[in-house]
Amino acid sequence: MILGLDVSTSVTGVSIIDKNGELIYCEAWRTDKKGLSFYKKLGLIKEKLCYVKSQFPIEKIYVEEPLGMFASGRSSAQVISKIQRFNGATCWILKELFDLEPKYINASTARKLCGITIRRGQKAKLIVLQHVIENEKEFNVEYTQRGNPLKGTYDRADSIVIAKAGLLLSKNNNKNS
């Protein structure tokens, strides 16, 4: 089974797919509770990963590559640094728990591998969510009273794309071996 993650300091999307690409597990782990320190958030992630390890025979782990540059108007150096530290610490936890080295996949590469095209000016999160809704019968979306997806929905969708891209990459690597 393949574990795909979209790691963030507020919500981490986590999906597991089998060797046929069927969705087995898909959750959003919220760590945005007020007053949680950086390390308490990591503790929550570790606790959830221990559950995953006890329930699923994970063979490969793929993680969305963290932001590496500024997105105009959205990301300060401080935010990027915090996300990268959290992502790195989460990957260390993954390595320790599963004894597998997580592999990073760039979000754009993952989308391309899954056949998702984002045109200039389009909101990637919306396009990815629409693709997942149309292609994953097991993916459920709940909406707020205003019609917006509940917090964590985009993260869950992203984690599915990372897991599916990981599956495609591992199949391609096996063919080339």
Kindly give, in sequence order, each residue whose CB lies less than 8 Å from that of residue 45, ignoring residues fewer than 6 positions away. 12, 29, 31, 90, 93
Short-list 36, 31, 35, 1, CA closest to 16:
1
Contact 162, 33 (CB under 8 A): no
CB-based burial label for 158 (10 Å; 0-12, 13-18, 19+): buried
pLDDT for position 177:
46
Q: What is the pLDDT of residues 56-97, one digit of tens each?
A: 999 999 999 986 544 545 557 777 788 889 999 999 999 999
Structure tokens at 95: 């390595």
Structure tokens at 30: 């919220």
Residue type, 72: S
Rounded CA-CA distance 40/49 in Å is: 14
Bigger pLDDT: 69 vs 144:
144
> Crossing angle of helices 77-98/38-55, nearest 10°?
30
Kindly give, in sequence order, each residue whose CB lies less than 8 Å from that of residue 143, ignoring residues fewer than 6 positions away. 149, 150
Tell me the mean pLDDT in the region 90-105.
Answer: 97
Kindly give, in sequence order, each residue whose CB lies less than 8 Å from that of residue 96, ignoring residues fewer than 6 positions away. none
pLDDT for position 69:
46
